[in-house]
Structure 1
Amino acid sequence: MTGKQLHHRAEGPATAPPLLLGPSLGTSTALWDKVAPELSITHRVVRWDLPGHGSSPADLIAPGATVADLASLVLSLADSLGIDRFSYAGVSLGGAVGLQLAAHHPERIERLAVICSSAHFNGSKPWEERAALVRAEGLGELAANADSRWFTQGFTVPELVEDHRTADPDAYAACCDALAAFDIRDRLPRISAPTLLIAGREDPATPPAHLRDIADAVPGAALTEIPGASHLAPAEQPEAVLTALRGHFDGGAKRGMEVRRQVLGDAHVDRAQARQSPFTARFQDFISRYAWGEIWTDDTLSRRERSLITLTALVAHGHYDELAMHVRAARRNGLTPEEIGAVLLQTAVYCGVPAANSAFAVAQGVLAEEDGVA
């Protein structure tokens, strides 16, 4: 096993906040096909396969395995990718891995989402029986009725059912051993990462009550129930899952958008959003998350002071279109026309008279429009 790692698929900018996505028993990274690409706009998304599932080596796990063993494999994968602290979302067994990580390795987990999972999986006996069946007869019978366990009536994802059928029986059985032994209820109050629970309202395997119990035990946790979803909610109701995950993981972008609107005004931000395309979406998110969600929200400087600095920088670099926008922002941040004029006069000394001349022309037009200052 030396040197072997869980198979993974990475998407999104290498510099974005890392987000690891864990699968359910019997599935692969394909479980996240309808969700991960959208999450990768704002995050460095890393999906991983369970041992013996998808493309992960089967001998990464052995009989008598525990969820802690799987969590160690995930940490080893993160280490190999140079990822120290990360957010995490997981489904079913993948969700149990997330709970294990958050409870026992809190220094590694930024934010946590647990989907269609549980702090215990109805005792050991059903999983011991399933493990024995798979070791004796393989996965054919279980794969044949996967739809009824995973989805609402009439819905299926053939690729996921095929993943179930082709998983390694011994590795699958070892994962069943891990589920049989898992019970983390006594550790839930120690979880400190902001936690979101997502339940499929029609999930027979881990019904909403299981997620509600976790939400009640984890300090500050939130619970979302998704109608029309059974056990594999990211595959059956991807838009609803995506909306919930975005709200949970994109706190910086959300706060940044609020500040961006406060400083630049709704009309400007609405125009920018209307012009957004798939080509520019990541750049727009970068602006909201980093410039507005981290820099402009830092209270070391006031917004007035940030406007003074921004006006000077824009004049220095000749960004006059942006200057017009930030003259308006400066007025919202409390600068008077006289103060704006004083800033531009200062730029004449340090940035050059021609630059200041152009800046005064831009600012005069904006102030005449905004304040009636000629």
Structure 2
Amino acid sequence: MSGHALYVTVRGLRTHAWVRGEGPPLVLVPGLGCASWMYVRVSRELARSRTVYVYDPPGHGRSAGRPGFPGQIEDLTDHLAAWLEVTGLSGAPVFGHSLGGEVIFDLAARYPHATSALVACAPTGIPENPSVRVQLARLLRDLPRERPGLLCPGVTAYLRSGPALMYRLAQDQSRHHTGPLLPFIGAPTLLLNGTRDPVIQSWTVQAICRAIPHALIRNVEGGTHALTDSFPRAVARFTLDFLASIEE
């Protein structure tokens, strides 16, 4: 289950995804500044039952970007929708972590045929869009709670994305109006909440759940913001059980 790299050109940008496993497809969308190599632990667990595509958004990981792009969260959504079409994965379930959760909400509302199900893990942004300063303070509170082994791949990913891109997207969260779109999400939705996550408060996840029709929450006790790394087995179990239940 070591996997292989997949490169396709999407809207002029060479776009990378890491692929591992066998079975029905599942697309994993990283958080802000994150890269495919930060999701090895959870993708290995998910790959026991699925073909997992860990997608690198433009300017992230091994995917190309361009100056000033992506400039806003909708750029990420539009690129993801185009990538799903190019790869033949339109209609596959998508799993978004952190900012990736916000992106997949936007995807399901604006491109309803692009995905059949959503799993949002510690999703950012809605209904709370804190300032960049507050986001940074919360991330600093979270760092000591994360697995030390995540530090090196995380720093590498952040350096690859760069501060300008990360600042643009973090700042755009205060202007990104996904909230009004949530009631229009028709895809089955699972929300994963870490009970020790200082970045995304539990009340925020609960508010998202109330806004999306028929959404479900599963709490990961003791879970931090990087749930995918700190609790990969629990995240994979909840995800696979959810997908199995809606695909019966």
TM-score by length of 1: 0.57
Runs (5+) with no aligned partner, structure 2: 1-9
SS in 2 for 1:202: coil
Q: Report the Cα offset of residue 60 of structure 1.
A: 7.3
- Are residues 183 and 156 of structure 1, via their aligned partners in 2, closer, same or farther at CA, if it must alter by over 3 Å? farther
Q: Deviation digits for residues 174-233 of structure 1, max 9, x if unmatched?
A: 322332322322221111111000011111111111111111121111101112211110
Q: Who is 1:107 aligned against?
A: 113
Q: CA separation in 2, counterparts of 1:216 and 1:69?
A: 26
Amino acid at match of 2:174: A
Answer yes or no: is the 8 Å Cα contact 2:139–2:199 preserved in 1: no
Alignment TM-score, normalising by the size of structure 2: 0.84
CA, structure 1 residues 40+200, in 2 after alignment: closer, same or farther (shift >3 Å)?
A: same
Match of 2:150 in 1: 157
| Aligned residue in 1 for 2:205 | 211
The residue aligned with 1:369 is none
Cα distance, 1:50 vs structure 2: 3.1
Pairing of 1:54-133 with structure 2 (within 5 A): 54-59=61-66, 62=69, 65-120=71-126, 122-123=128-129, 126-127=131-132
| Structure 1 Cα separation of the partners of residues 120 and 210 of structure 2 | 14
Q: Which residue of 42, 55, 58 maps to 2:49?
A: 42
Letter matched to residue 17 of structure 1: P
Query: Contact 2:99–2:125 at 8 Å: present in 1 too?
Result: no
Aligned-pair CA distance for 1:5 = 3.8
Bigger radius of gyration, 1 or 2?
1
Whether 2:2 is the aligned partner of 1:8: answer no
Is the alpha carbon distance of 1:252 and 1:90 closer, same or farther for their aligned partners in structure 2, counting shifts above 3 Å? closer
The answer to whether the 8 A contact 1:199-1:225 is kept is yes
> In 2 relative to 1, CA 231–222 (structure 1 residues): closer, same or farther, beyond 3 Å?
same
Over 3 Å counting, the alpha-carbon distance change for 1:122 and 1:150 in structure 2 is farther
Contact 2:146 2:230 in 1 (8 A): no
SS in structure 2 of the partner of residue 47 of structure 1: strand
Which amino acid in 2 is paired with 1:230? T
Aligned with 1:7: secondary structure? Answer: strand
- Partner AA of 2:24 in structure 1: P
In the alignment, which residue of structure 2 is the partner of 1:293?
Answer: none
Residues 75 and 154 of structure 1: CA distance in aligned 2, closer, same or farther (over 3 Å): closer
Output the amino acid matched with 1:68.
Answer: E
In the TM superposition, what is the alpha-carbon distance from 1:155 to its structure 2 partner?
4.8
CA contact (8 A) 1:119 1:214 kept: no
How much does 1:23 deviate? 0.8
Give the AA of the match of 1:179. Q
Q: Which moved more, 1:41-50 or 1:90-99?
A: 41-50
Partner of 2:39: 32
In structure 1, runs of 5+ residues without a counterpart are 132-141, 256-374
Could you say which residue in structure 2 is the equivalent of 1:181?
A: 175
Preserved contact between residue 189 and residue 218 of structure 1 (Cα < 8 Å) = yes
For 2:201, the aligned partner's letter is P
In the TM superposition, what is the alpha-carbon distance from 1:154 to its structure 2 partner? 7.0
Check whether the contact 1:102–1:191 (CA below 8 A) recurs between aligned residues. Answer: yes
Superposed displacement of residue 67, structure 1: 1.9
Equivalent residue runs for 1:1-374 within 5 Å: 2-13=11-22, 16-59=23-66, 62=69, 65-120=71-126, 122-123=128-129, 126-127=131-132, 148-150=141-143, 152=145, 155=148, 157-158=150-151, 159-251=153-245, 255=248
Q: What SS does structure 1 have at the residue aligned with 2:106?
A: helix
Shift of 1:150: 4.5
Q: Is the 8 A contact 2:185 2:213 kept in 1?
A: yes
Farther-moved stretch of structure 1 (82-91 vs 149-158):
149-158
Q: Does the CA contact (< 8 Å) of 1:87 and 1:110 recur in 2?
A: yes
**Alpha-carbon distance in structure 1 between the residues aligned to 2:144 and 2:188:** 28
CA RMSD of aligned residues (A): 2.7
Cα distance between partner residues in 2 of 1:250 and 1:61: 40
Say how many residue pairs are matched: 237
